[in-house]
Amino acid sequence: SVFDVVIFDEASQIPVWDAIGAIARGKQVVMVGDPKQLPPTSFFDRAESTQDDVDVEADLESILDECISANLPIRNLNWHYRSRHESLIAFSNQRYYESKLVTFPSPVTNDRAVSLHVINGVYEKGSARTNPAEAKALVADLIGRLRSPGFKESKLTIGVVTFNGEQQKLIEDLLDTERRKDPALESYFSESELEPVFVKNLESVQGDERDIMYFSITYGPDAAGNVAMNFGPLNRTGGERRLNVAVTRARHELRVFSTLRAEKIDLARTQAFGVRDLKHFLEFADRGARALAGADTGSLGGYDSPFEEAVANALRQKGWQVVTQVGVSSFRIDLAVVDPDAPGRYLAGVECDGATYHRSATARDRDKLREQVLRGLGWEILRIWSTDWWIDALGTAQKTHEHLEALLVESRQQRAAREAQEQLAANAAEYEYQAPLADNVVALPVDRPQLKTPDESVEPEPENEALDMPSVRYADMQADAARTSTTFPYYRGSDPLSAVEGVDPDAFFDAR
């Protein structure tokens, strides 16, 4: 059959011979792919002849490479949406995409969503090709995250990527052991979940993404302390593309576990681009944006126009702490106001119709998409027009100040509500996890006291009653047998076996 349009996704992984048949059946073809990501795996390719095919030009790696070399019309997609924190894509943007990706800064003042966790371990060369200490530390951190209070409610998802299949298998085995110990963890790994926890290696992780990604570097010093410049797939041609795939899978956070420090990689001993980039990536994970080669041109500070400078100075005079040009790509937040209650977070971003605004090609980009993406990341955006400022600078500054004050009040109310909810959850956990009772002590569920008439004496209710918490009374049955309580009626102990006869088993499922 013939189709009007044939579309290939992840075209960088499709070999030429596998795509020709589908292309021939379409009137138009659209290739979607990234030449900076994984080429087709060559594991099952037959060995190429070195004698007979000397004069024959070899196929390029993928159908995407063939289309690019054939000068077909190209449309580059420059806006990057996956990463909720700009630092997650900053390394690849600078290293592989010539800093052309338009990324959006996170509303936190110190964006360090990429973190390096250095482990004192040993890489077992030879047949094992694993790093047990690193794997155990990674699994312990991952399981701790799954068990942490509030994690299930956060709906965050987790994935693990490793450099080789051996380390992948080791981590899977360690996770299986933890799952056997604690069946409550099983729900995170269930195939019925939309995004269950996965463990994959470099060759199989392309196309996947999770909120939190763990990256096991695996390679490092051996038992004698020597570091071989052999990093598996990174040493091969295209190794840097594999690294690019591995470090761009996370939406919220990338946690890098490594026994290898960047200074231990000697670039004089290898020519592989992938190894070079691994060294620079470890530096970036350790030191943040300062480690990027273009950090001096991508740092905070400066003004796009005298208008922005005037607005910033006016807000500072009102008592606000203002940071200028927040971001590390071609897109910046003109001015960002630091939350006085939480210095690690921005209260709001202030957009001025300066150079950044006018660089956008269309009004839709300027006024709708950009603000929509920023709000989706958690920013509160205020806009100040140069015409308003020109006509009434003092009045416009006062309006902006009042808007910021309102946002601060709202932020404090939300924070207070969160703290109350956390306290409620902590109280519930305290009631749920009581110390084991002695043999002669039983836990007695307690009904709420009935409301009394005004002329009756009313005992003060415990604090947890005000929070609408369930009450549980722990009592010694023998000691309390002769004592009555008007406020907390007790249940009588009963023998379930004495009531077996005449009981309808189906009534067990009745809600009453």
- Angle in degrees, CA 359, 365, 367, rounded to 5: 100
Read off the tokens for 34: 């990234």
439 Cβ contact list (under 8 Å, min separation 6)? none
Give pLDDT tens digits for 295-319: 334 334 567 778 888 999 999 999 8
What is the distance between the alpha carbons of residues 299 and 380, in angstroms, rounded to a whole number? 22
The predicted pLDDT at position 295 comes to: 38
pLDDT at 64 over 50: yes
The predicted pLDDT at position 135 comes to: 95
What is the distance between the alpha carbons of residues 41 and 202, in angstroms, rounded to a whole number? 11
pLDDT at 433 over 60: no
Give pLDDT tens digits for 159-183: 999 988 999 999 999 999 999 999 9
Give pLDDT tens digits for 251-277: 999 999 999 988 888 877 888 888 989
- The ranges assigned to domains in the chain are 3-69, 112-291, 306-415, 441-509
Domain with residues 306-415, CATH architecture: 3-Layer(aba) Sandwich (3.40)
What confidence category does residue 432 fall into, taking pLDDT thresholds of 50, 70 and 90? low
Question: What mean pLDDT comes out for the span 211-223?
Answer: 92
Over the chain, what is the mean pLDDT?
78
Better pLDDT: 7 or 360: 7
Question: What mean pLDDT comes out for the span 9-17?
Answer: 88
Better pLDDT: 146 or 339: 146
The predicted pLDDT at position 486 comes to: 46
pTM: 0.60
Question: What mean pLDDT comes out for the span 152-157?
Answer: 90
CB 31 within 8 A of CB 69: no
The predicted pLDDT at position 51 comes to: 37
Give pLDDT tens digits for 456-485: 444 444 444 444 444 444 444 444 444 444
What is the distance between the alpha carbons of residues 320 and 312, in angstroms, rounded to a whole number? 9
- DSSP notation for 469-494: PPPEEEEEHHHHTT---SSSPPPPP-
Q: Which residue has the tokens 């049955």?
A: 477
The predicted pLDDT at position 499 comes to: 63
468: left (phi over 0), alpha (psi -120 to 50) or beta: left
Nearest CA-CA partner of 159 in 111, 112, 212: 212
The predicted pLDDT at position 458 comes to: 45
The predicted pLDDT at position 474 comes to: 47
Q: What is the DSSP letter of 12?
A: G
What confidence category does residue 198 fall into, taking pLDDT thresholds of 50, 70 and 90? very high
pLDDT at 143 over 90: yes
Fold match between 112-291 and 306-415?
no
Give pLDDT tens digits for 383-410: 888 888 888 889 999 999 999 999 989 9
Give pLDDT tens digits for 276-297: 899 889 988 887 766 564 333 4
Q: Is 98 exposed, middle or buried (0-12, 13-18, 19+ CB in 10 A)?
A: exposed
pLDDT at 189 over 90: yes
Share of the chain above pLDDT 90, in %: 25
Question: What mean pLDDT comes out for the span 197-224?
Answer: 90
pLDDT at 502 over 70: no
Angle, nearest 10°, between helix axes 306-317 and 393-432? 60
The predicted pLDDT at position 257 comes to: 95
The predicted pLDDT at position 168 comes to: 94
The predicted pLDDT at position 485 comes to: 44
Better pLDDT: 328 or 29: 29
205 Cβ contact list (under 8 Å, min separation 6)? 159, 161, 245, 246, 249
Q: Which residue has the tokens 């990536």?
A: 281
The predicted pLDDT at position 103 comes to: 78
pLDDT at 153 over 80: yes
Angle, nearest 10°, between helix axes 239-246 and 87-96? 160
The predicted pLDDT at position 292 comes to: 62
Q: Is 151 exposed, middle or buried (0-12, 13-18, 19+ CB in 10 A)?
A: middle
- Angle in degrees, CA 351, 357, 361, rounded to 5: 150
Nearest CA-CA partner of 224 in 130, 317, 137, 123: 123
Lowest-pLDDT range of 37-46, 99-108, 239-248:
37-46
The predicted pLDDT at position 200 comes to: 93
CB 87 within 8 A of CB 284: no
What confidence category does residue 231 fall into, taking pLDDT thresholds of 50, 70 and 90? confident
Q: What are the Cα distances from residue 471, in Å, to 217, 442, 463?
A: 50, 14, 11
36 Cβ contact list (under 8 Å, min separation 6)? 92, 96, 97, 241, 244
CATH number of the structural domain 112-291: 3.40.50.300
Read off the tokens for 257: 């576990």
Q: Which long-range contacts (CB under 8 A, 24 or more apart) does 176-181 make?
A: 178/139, 178/143
